[in-house]
Amino acid sequence: MPSLQDTTRGRILFGGDYNPEQWPEDVWHDDVRLMKEAGVTTVTLGVFSWARLEPRPGVRDFGWLDRLMDLMHGHGIGVVLATPTASPPPWLGRLHPETLPRDEDGNVEWWGSRQHFAHSSPAYRRYAAAITEDLAARYAHHPALTMWHINNEYCTYDWGDEAAAAFRRWLRERYGSLTALNSAWGSAFWGQSYDAWEEMLPPRRAHYMKNPTQVLDFKRFTSDALLECYAAERDIVRAHTPHLPVTTNFMPLWQGQDGWKWAAQEDVVSVDVYPDPKDPLGGQYGALVQDLTRSQAGGGPWMVMEQAAGPVNWRGVNHPKPAGLNRLWTWQAVARGADAVCYFQWRQSRQGAEKFHSGMLGHAGEDGRTFQEIKRIGAELRAVGPQIAGSRLIAEVAVLHDWDSWWAGQQDGRPSSLLDHAEVLRAWHRALWEANLPVGFAHPEHDLSAYRMVVVPHLYLLTDTAIDRLVAYVRAGGTLVCGFFTGVADGDDRVRPGGADAGLRALFGIRTLHEWWPLDTGESVDCGDFTGTLWSEELTADDEAETVASYRGGELDGLPAVLRRGRAWYVSTLPAPDALRGLLGRAATEAGVRPPLPGLPHGVEAVRRGDLLFLLHHGRDAVTVTVPGGRHRDLLTGEPVGGTITLGRHGVAVLREDAHPAGSS
Ligand code: GAL
């Protein structure tokens, strides 16, 4: 199978979405001149071009794209060509209203924006396949073409009739019989039993809480239906260009797609990442997305398909990136395994909904600070990229994350609506990030034996297979740190006897799990050395367990808050950030996991990729970092580095240990 390396060919790619159909053609020539100046090596064309390529049903207008492909090739810029199927032309909705999705109230999502397609509509799929086929046939042999980008951020839900029919087919396939379905859905509750497949519906507007397994299955189905759309277009382009990789860009930590299942269907895993520049933990959010995406790519190189050079336009208040932040976050992605770093978009639009969203080339033009910083990044990547591209990171700690569990856990009727799966994941990842531990992500059914430590922030649903894996992992000597409200439900969202899986409880030394005690906003529990928020649990320990911390005061006074049994730890609350960092740091030390550099100043991140050490300074005040070992050289400056290096505001260094230090022979 082709991979990202077939496109990068030993470089770190740099570029962005290019939407030249918004501009007169004379601007295109200015664009390529400035792209060359900025070190752009790749552009993504055609993401939203369906109406331009097919102005009327069956009519094709490829001339403008021919000229662009030639222009790019003439300047040595590779093209990632998108299938334009994320935004069907208005005529499709007019002629085939069934191609428009409906919300849970039955309201139509009309054209006039984007992503207005009903994923299971045969007409949509037919027209999408036809334009994809013609695009692939036309450009298969064009020398500018380097990769395919299918659709864009697949993210639509559909409760309409086409989706209902497809959902029924999906359920028949999954369950085989209504008896099996009724059992899995627990439909005896509230008299919901189904007697005919025609009665099955997506979980549309209802009077009160919906059947949780129906909702869970609808999310599984939606992810699968979108994946079918992706796979159909992928197979079309693949037939024309078996040597070129195919991708589609993920929204990070997005509920709508099972990221593990999807990544397995891609040649290149790519993601769009937009941390808020105002968020003091924006760098940590970026690191989480990077760690997750790299893990979805099997630990190998991956691609930032989109980031912003400056502000976005979809937050309430959209903050620009202060000087140096774009460069820092770009290098952070490279440090964590990216071999391609691209932006939305090359030239900032003057019209349309995103005219206040930054571009690499903003309204301020080539003298603008944003473009100047882009030029610097492009030059650095060109110079240093070949020494980095293709190398890998070794993650010794795995964080388990699973969409099924997220879908099942994030529903009405739970002990606490404040429990947000993604927020808990962020809190635990933050602790590991601040401790500078090398982290990857894994699915709970993955083989975990390569990791020294496995961390489960919170997985409400765990299958029997996943539980067996965790138990076997600890038996084989692995260290497991597990958060609250985990292993509660089986794969059908049926609560396990005893409130959580018996094998897991035994692993941690939990004798009885009496009650969940979720906490209100602003409420905390005293655990002696630290406070916990969000959640607490009424547990009693068995004789094998060691109580690491206990609740003090309140209803849970004296009961265990943190338990361990050998190498298996259980944390029944959300410890304050410092405490969680301390706890995970302690477990990691025992497991033999070390940060790449000890004693880093606050705000400095150190990442080892291949034989390079990346230092990334998230703060604004200069700091000095001690670099033990032999002499190093900073690839960005070419300067030798003695025992220390000073990093200025948002400073970055890429250090290589000198093979032959000065003075040696
Ligand atoms: C992404 C999308 C782009 C652009 C960008 C703005 O979600 O793929 O087309 O809209 O957001 O941040």
Domain ranges of the chain: 4-162+204-387, 397-591, 604-657
Position 376, amino acid: R
Nearest CA to ligand 1 atom 4: 344
Task: Quote the CA–CA distance of 354 and 49 in Å, as a whole number.
Answer: 16
Residue 662 is predicted with a pLDDT of 47
Cα pseudo-dihedral 313, 43, 342, 315, rounded to 10: 10
Contact between 97 and 110 under an 8 Å Cβ cutoff? The reply is: no
The SS3 assignment for 69 reads helix
Cα–Cα distance between 473 and 38 in angstroms, integer?
49
Closest CA to 294 of 247, 334, 234, 243: 334
Q: Residues of the chain whose pLDDT is less than 50?
A: 662-665
Of the candidates 233, 266, 306, 380, the residue annotated as catalytic is: 306
Measure the CA–CA gap between 82 and 478, rounded to whole angstroms: 44
**Residues with Cβ within 6 A of ligand 1?**
152-153, 272, 274, 306, 312, 344, 354, 357
What interhelical angle do 122-139 and 212-240 show, nearest 10? 30
pLDDT digits (tens, 9 = 90+) for 7-28: 999 999 999 999 999 999 999 9
Q: What pLDDT score was predicted for residue 387?
A: 97
Q: SS3 of 292, please?
A: helix
Dihedral over Cα of 237, 243, 249, 255: its sign: positive
pLDDT above 90: percentage of residues in the chain: 98
CB-neighbour burial class of residue 60 (10 A; exposed 0-12, middle 13-18, buried 19+): middle
Amino acid identity of 612?
L
Q: How far is the CA of 90 from the centre of ligand 1 (A)?
A: 20
Our mutation pick for probing the ligand 1 site, out of 153, 250, 304, counting the most ligand atoms within 8 A of Cβ, is 153
**Which H or E element spans position 5?**
helix 4-8
Instruction: Report the DSSP beta bridge partners of residue 441.
Output: 399
Q: Which atom of ligand 1 is nearest to the CA of 305?
A: 8
* Residue 660: per-residue pLDDT: 59
Ligand 1 atom at minimal distance to the Cα of residue 47: 9
- Structurally, at CATH architecture level, domain 604-657 sits in Sandwich (2.60)
Nearest C-alpha neighbor of 462 from the set 444, 478, 446: 444
Q: What is the CA radius of gyration of the chain?
A: 26
Both tokens assigned to 35:
């792209």
Q: Residue with the nearest Cα to atom 9 of ligand 1?
A: 344
Q: What is the pLDDT of residue 663?
A: 43
**CB within 8 A of 632, min separation 6: which ones?**
613, 640, 641, 645, 655, 656, 657, 658
pLDDT at 183: 98
Per-residue CA distances from 574 to 412, 512, 535, 570, 603 (Å): 21, 20, 6, 11, 23
φ and ψ of 198, to 5 deg? -60, -20
* Cα-to-centroid distance, 47 and ligand 1 (Å): 10
Q: How far apart are CA 272 and CA 388, in angstroms?
A: 21
Structure-block tokens of residue 557: 């006074």
Whether cis (ω within 30° of 0) applies to the bond prior to 345 is yes
CB 291 within 8 A of CB 335: no
Q: Tokens 């395919």 — which residue?
A: 148
Please give the Cα distance from 665 to 662 (Å, whole number): 8
**308 CA → ligand 1 middle, Å:** 9
Neighbours of 416 (CB within 10 A): 14
Q: Which residues on neighbouring strands pair with residue 525, listed in sequence order? A: 532
Enumerate residues 6+ apart whose C-beta is below 8 A from 108: 97, 100, 101, 102
CA-to-CA distance for 620 and 618, rounded, in angstroms? Answer: 7
Q: What is the DSSP pairing of strand 644-647 with strand 623-626?
A: antiparallel
Beta-carbon contacts of 515 under 8 Å, excluding residues fewer than 6 positions away, are 537, 538
Rounded to 10°, the helix 122-139/63-74 angle is: 50
Expressed in angstroms and rounded, the spacing between residue 17 Cα and the centre of ligand 1 is 10
Burial of 266 (0-12, 13-18, 19+ CB in 10 A): buried
DSSP states along 233-281: HHHHHHHH-TTS-EE-EEPTT-TTS-HHHHHTT-SS-EEE----TT-TT
* 350 burial via Cβ count (<10 Å: 0-12, 13-18, 19+): exposed
Active-site residue, selected from the candidate residues 54, 109, 153, 266? 153
User: Whole-prediction pTM value?
Assistant: 0.97
Q: Which tokens sit at 584?
A: 């995970």
Q: How far is the CA of 427 from the centre of ligand 1 (A)?
A: 26
In ligand 1, the atom with minimum distance to the C-alpha of 48 is: 9
pLDDT recorded at residue 665: 34
Single out the residue of 245, 220, 263, 654 nearest to residue 441, CA to CA. Answer: 263
In the reported structure, the alpha carbon of residue 344 is separated from the centroid of ligand 1 by a whole-number distance in angstroms of 6
Does residue 36 come out as left (phi exceeding 0), alpha (psi in the -120 to 50 range) or beta? alpha
- pLDDT (0 to 100) of residue 430: 98
- Ligand 1 centre to CA of 222 (Å) is 21
- Of ligand 1's atoms, which has the minimum distance to the CA of residue 314? 12
Three-state SS for 651?
A: coil
Residue to mutate (ligand 1; options 247, 306, 321; most atoms within 8 A of CB): 306
Nearest to 335 by CA among 454, 259, 438: 438
Write down the CATH number for the domain with range 397-591: 3.40.50.880
Both tokens of 470, joined, read 């965790």
- What is the token pair recorded at 631? 């002499």
Question: Mutate which of 48, 271, 272 to test ligand 1's pocket (most atoms within 8 Å of Cβ)?
Answer: 272
Backbone angles phi, psi at 438, to 5 degrees: -75, 110
Q: Where are the alpha helices (DSSP H) in 435-509?
A: 464-475, 502-508
Q: Which of 214, 196, 262 is nearest to 104 (CA)?
A: 214
Q: Does domain 4-162+204-387 correspond to CATH entry 3.30.565.10?
A: no
Best CA proximity match to 536, nearest among 498, 483, 490, 494? 483
Residue 199 CB contacts under 8 Å (≥ 6 apart), including other chains? none
Active site residue 354: no
Encode burial over 26-54: b for 16+ CB neighbours within 10 A, e otherwise.
Answer: eebeebbebbeebbbbbbbbbbbbbbbbb
Residue 610: DSSP 8-state: T
Q: Could you say which DSSP state residue 188 is in?
A: T
Please identify, by atom number, the ligand 1 atom nearest to the C-alpha of residue 251: 7
CA dihedral 98, 104, 106, 108 (to 10 degrees): -50
Report CA-CA distances (Å) from 73 to 26, 32, 42, 67, 68.
17, 10, 10, 10, 8
CA of 353 to the centre of ligand 1 (A): 11
Task: State the Cα angle at 188 between 186 and 190, rounded to 5°.
Answer: 105
For residue 366, the 8-state DSSP code is G
54 given a catalytic annotation:
no
Burial of 64-75, coded b for 16+ CB within 10 Å and e otherwise, reads ebeebbebbeee
User: C-alpha dihedral over 508, 512, 515, 516, to 10 degrees?
Assistant: 10
Whole-number pLDDT of residue 630: 83
